[in-house]
Amino acid sequence: MTVNKRPGDASESIATPRLRLIACGALARELLAIINQLPPDVADLTCLPAAWHNHPEKIVPGIKAKVKAARKAGFTPVVIYGDCGTGGQLDTFLDAENIARIPGPHCYHSFMGEADFDAAMDQELGTFFLTDYMVRHFERIVMKGMGLRDHPHLRDIYFAHYKRVLYIAQTDDATLVEKARQAAATLQLDYDYHYTGYGDYTAFLDNLCSRRQPSVATS
Amino acid sequence: MADEDEIILADLDDDELVQQMHDDLYDGLQDEIVEGVKILLDRKWTPYEVLTKALVEGMTIVGIDFRDGILFVPEVLMAANAMKAGMVILRPLLAETGAPRVGSMVIGTVKGDIHDIGKNLVSMMLEGAGFDVIDLGINNPVENYLDALEEHKPDILGMSALLTTTMPYMKVVVDAMVEKGIRDDYIVLVGGAPLNEAFAESVGADAYCRDAAVAVETAKEMIQAKRDREQAAG
């Protein structure tokens, strides 16, 4: 799926975007919100399935295909993924191709920033993180995807060493807060809340786009 | 009254019962596995035979289908739980009857990591394959590994990590072993979702095991190779 910055605009009337963000589908909503705050026509977004986090072996081949397509279409690809379980293979590929990636091992780290993430882990190693995306899709991803809805006793296997849910919120949304509380209760874990906004993603994209803006205008 | 289609395990002959136990294990039916184990023991099967032919073979099928993408983690966990229930019955009997031992392994999840599902599967399958397994649990600093090696003198050290951020700790452990001059005394196996063969090589492990079945095969092969080398050296 590729999403243009302004879906309502006639594509013929705008300059060709120069950056193509290749991202995890779990970040689509947040990245679109950031892109909408950037100068016009700097970047567009294409996503790979969020469910691939359970199949990290699919991530690098999927990104390779997206990179190839982006370059063929004249874009500069930028990857908005953590290592995400690829065991360094993603960075090996990106380094060889000279493609930028947001620093950090996973999206929790990028939303919170290194210092806050490390502090959260120091506070409680058994922390189960929920982002806005995960709260919205908790039933599908966690309860059904992990088999907990059909086999509730698996909870004690999956979460034996977890102590708390930490909802790292990208938006200030009372409905999501309540859903996150319910998720923690369902998992029989304590609940904590930490507002992150869009974290490191905003600065990363601002920086990338501001550096490229002059060439965009002439393309 | 029993349902017309209900299978009465006690009515099956040995081969049919073992086949049914493989199916029950595949379906994660804990109570049926316990019943099947008891029936086979009543029929004078040795605990080792029950373990290897009914449970381990059944779990191997589960492992293959997991690897091939036919089964997913919840189903594997259900199967593992069923096997675990059978093991509860067999474990003391195996100790009592002196089942053949293949080797020994110290295993644990590395420091900073609390994930142990994969490690527990490996432990269980190794135990089923005749290994003595000393499981250190989760979040192990290097001292835990070194102390356990000193105490138990196993053939193998196994380390597990689920997180990209924790897997580099495996190198800390291997480097400490090198520093103490004991690295070559042990086979070092590593595993976990984000790992791969190149990573295993980079941290100085002997092999990467992508799943529990591979871990068992690798452990067996490496122990045999080590013993062959020792024998050849006199």
The pTM for the full model equals: 0.85
Q: Considering the domain boundaries, does residue B4 fall inside one?
A: no
> B129-150 pLDDT, tens per residue?
889 999 999 999 999 999 999 9
pLDDT at A2 over 80: no
Considering the domain architecture, whether residues A93 and A173 belong to the same structural domain is answered as no
pLDDT band at B101 (very low <50, low <70, confident <90, very high): confident
B74 CA: distance to closest CA in chain A (Å): 5
Mutate to test the interface with A, among B67, B109, B113, B114 (most CBs of A within 10 A): B114
Q: Which residues of B touch A146 (CB under 8 A)?
A: 73-74
Considering the domain architecture, whether residues A181 and A97 belong to the same structural domain is answered as no
List of residues 6+ apart from B70 with CB closer than 8 A? none
Q: Note down the domain range covering B59.
A: 9-100
DSSP count for chain A of H helices, then E strands: 10, 8
Alpha carbons B22 and B36: distance in angstroms, whole number: 10
Domain end call among B49, B79, B100: B100
Q: Which residues of A touch B81 (CB under 8 A)?
A: 153, 157
In this structure, how many other beta carbons lie within 10 angstroms of the beta carbon of residue A169? Answer: 19
Considering the domain architecture, whether residues A86 and A119 belong to the same structural domain is answered as no
Alpha helices (H) in A58-101, listed in sequence order: 59-72, 89-97
Considering the domain architecture, whether residues A7 and A77 belong to the same structural domain is answered as yes
CA distances from A6 to A21, A40, A145, A219, B168 (A): 15, 9, 33, 18, 42
List of residues 6+ apart from B158 with CB closer than 8 A? B105, B106, B107, B108, B119, B122, B188, B189, B190, B191, B215
Q: Which residues of A touch B195 (CB under 8 A)?
A: 87
| Cα dihedral B37→B43→B45→B47 (10° resolution) | 40
Q: Tell me which residue in B74, B117, B138 faces A147 most closely, judged by beta carbons.
A: B74
Considering the domain architecture, whether residues A20 and A102 belong to the same structural domain is answered as yes
For residue B232, count CB atoms less than 10 angstroms from its CB and return exposed for 0-12, middle for 13-18, buried for 19 or more: exposed
Considering the domain architecture, whether residues B81 and B39 belong to the same structural domain is answered as yes
Domain end call among B57, B73, B100: B100
Domain end call among B69, B100, B131: B100
Predicted local distance difference test score (pLDDT) of residue B67: 84
Does the distance separating the beta carbons of A84 and B77 come in below 8 Å?
Answer: no
Nearest CA to A108 out of A166, A181, A174, A50 is that of: A166
- Longest Cα pair distance anywhere in chain B, in angstroms? 67
Predicted local distance difference test score (pLDDT) of residue B4: 58
Q: Note down the domain range covering A138.
A: 114-195
Alpha carbons B112 and B163: distance in angstroms, whole number: 9
Does the distance separating the beta carbons of B164 and A85 come in below 8 Å?
Answer: yes
Q: Considering the domain boundaries, does residue B3 fall inside one?
A: no
Window 31-50 of A, Cβ < 8 Å to B: none
Per the prediction, chain A carries an average pLDDT of 88
What percent of chain A clears pLDDT 70, i.e. is strictly above it? Answer: 89
Predicted local distance difference test score (pLDDT) of residue A213: 53
| CATH number, domain containing residue B89 | 1.10.1240.10
Q: What is the mean pLDDT of residues A38-59?
A: 89
Q: Which residues make beta-bridge pairs with A168?
A: A194
Considering the domain architecture, whether residues B23 and B106 belong to the same structural domain is answered as no
Considering the domain architecture, whether residues B105 and B184 belong to the same structural domain is answered as yes
| Helix or strand holding residue A12 (H, E) | none
Alpha helices (H) in chain B, listed in sequence order: 14-26, 30-42, 47-49, 57-67, 73-97, 117-128, 142-152, 169-180, 197-203, 212-232
Give the chain B residue nearest A121 (alpha carbons).
Answer: B112
Nearest CA to B67 out of B208, B206, B214 is that of: B214
Predicted local distance difference test score (pLDDT) of residue B83: 94
Q: What angle do CA A83, A85, A87 make, to 5 degrees?
A: 75
B228 CA: distance to closest CA in chain A (Å): 34
Predicted local distance difference test score (pLDDT) of residue A18: 85
| CATH number, domain containing residue B179 | 3.40.50.280
Predicted local distance difference test score (pLDDT) of residue A219: 36
Q: Considering the domain boundaries, does residue B197 fall inside one?
A: yes
Q: Are A128 and A191 in contact (CB under 8 A)?
A: no
How would you label B73-98 residue by residue, b for 16+ Cβ within 10 Å and e otherwise? Answer: bbbbbbbbbbbbbbbebbeebbeeee
Q: Tell me which residue in A125, A151, A158 faces B139 most closely, judged by beta carbons.
A: A125
What percent of chain B clears pLDDT 70, i.e. is strictly above it? Answer: 98
Does the distance separating the beta carbons of B164 and A150 come in below 8 Å?
Answer: no
Which amino acid is residue B197, in one-letter code? E
Does the distance separating the beta carbons of B72 and A147 come in below 8 Å?
Answer: yes
Considering the domain architecture, whether residues B96 and B17 belong to the same structural domain is answered as yes
Regarding an ipTM greater than 0.95, the answer is no
Q: What is the mean pLDDT of residues B74-101?
A: 89
Total domains present in chain B: 2
In this structure, how many other beta carbons lie within 10 angstroms of the beta carbon of residue B121? Answer: 26
Considering the domain architecture, whether residues A64 and A143 belong to the same structural domain is answered as no
Residues written for chain A: 219
